[in-house]
Structure 1
Amino acid sequence: MSALSGDPKSHPDSEFADGLTGSCLCGSITVTIHDKELFTKKRGHLCHCANCRKVAGTYVAANFAIEKEKVEIKDDKGTLKTYEDWNTGSGKKVDRKFCGACGSPILSEPQLTPHMVVLKMGLFPRIPAPEFEAFAAHKHEWENTIPGLEVQYETARGGKKLGE
């Protein structure tokens, strides 16, 4: 597949029955999610916090929080780098991992939830529909709400819901 033919609609759910693999822009790092329920329900989330926006390089980050044991990372060329982010709302460190060769964000490891990783979904050919938005109160006024989105948290996941 050409790098320019990344149409997610060209990848049926059945293609990912045993897992989902993606890579950074240069291909040095691959990430595989081993989870048979990836597309059986809404799983991902969108985050509008300033740190996620900066890491994503856009107005919202498409993330996927999942248990560490379900994720396999291959770094054949040794390009995976870590930035220790202490400028967080919780005051707890988040290790933000990225490819040192092409700069693609790979994942975040929040100290607050050490058994989980937050994958950056732009790595993958197709992503699960988001179940919620975090930091929805920080959205730009021109952003639309995603149809069918179950929850919008004002700020952090699990906190006060928007409009409560």
Structure 2
Amino acid sequence: MADVEGSCHCGAIKVRVIGGFGEKAKAGVCHCKQCQVLAGSLFSYLGFVKRENVKVLQGEPKGYKQPLSAAQSGKPITRYFCGDCGTPLWAAADSAPDTYSIKLAMFGNNLPPAMEIYWKYAQTWEKPMVPSEALFDRWYET
């Protein structure tokens, strides 16, 4: 599988995912309150990749250690972003020490959704993008 590269909005941060996302890769949609605020949207569109496969080619992402009181998972999370333009890049959750939840907008948002997590925080007028068995009210263990 070929590597994929993406960047933040201003181009200061460039990232490579070694091996890409895989032929059968699917996206996760997170509706938690933090993702809504930090994405400035109804949800975050995420790919789940091994941390060892994410390489920063250019720039230095800034990290924001989210307070435990703000994490709906109850676990520590560090969120990385571009310090110049503010583009969210990925989240590193202590509960998933080998995985990054990487923002797919950097790579064109071309993976179909496979699951929606924290669905209970979705707006009442939102329609699911996945079948009901792929809706979860909490974190889905990848």
Whether TM-score is above 0.5 comes out as: yes
Listed as ranges, the gaps of 5+ residues in structure 1 are: 1-16, 159-164
Offset, 1:42: 4.3
RMSD (Å), alpha carbons: 1.9
**Structure 2 counterpart of 1:104, which letter?**
T
Listed as ranges, the gaps of 5+ residues in structure 2 are: none
Whole-Å Cα distance in 2 between the matches of residues 37 and 107 of structure 1? 14
Offset, 1:92: 2.0
User: Any residues of structure 2 matched to 1:139-154 within 5 Å, and which?
Assistant: 139-146=122-129, 151-154=134-137
TM-score by length of 1: 0.76
Q: Whose radius of gyration is greater, 1 or 2?
A: 1
Provide the secondary structure at the position in 1 that maps to 2:35. Answer: helix
TM-score by length of 2: 0.87
Provide the secondary structure at the position in 2 that maps to 1:52. Answer: helix
Whole-Å Cα distance in 2 between the matches of residues 123 and 21 of structure 1? 8
Aligned residues: 139
> Greater shift after overlay, 21-30 or 80-89?
80-89
**What is the match of residue 136 of structure 1?**
119
Q: Is residue 83 of structure 1 aligned with residue 77 of structure 2?
A: no
Partners of 1:135 and 1:153 within 8 A in 2: yes
Offset, 1:26: 0.7
Identity of aligned residues (%): 26
Whole-Å Cα distance in 1 between the matches of residues 35 and 72 of structure 2? 12
**Structure 2 counterpart of 1:66, which letter?**
V
**Structure 2 counterpart of 1:81, which letter?**
K
Which of 87, 93, 103 matches 2:86?
A: 103
**What is the match of residue 52 of structure 1?**
35
Offset, 1:150: 5.9
Offset, 1:119: 0.3
Q: Is residue 35 of structure 1 aligned with residue 19 of structure 2?
A: yes
Offset, 1:139: 1.3
Partners of 2:6 and 2:16 within 8 A in 1: yes
Offset, 1:41: 2.0
Partners of 2:4 and 2:20 within 8 A in 1: no
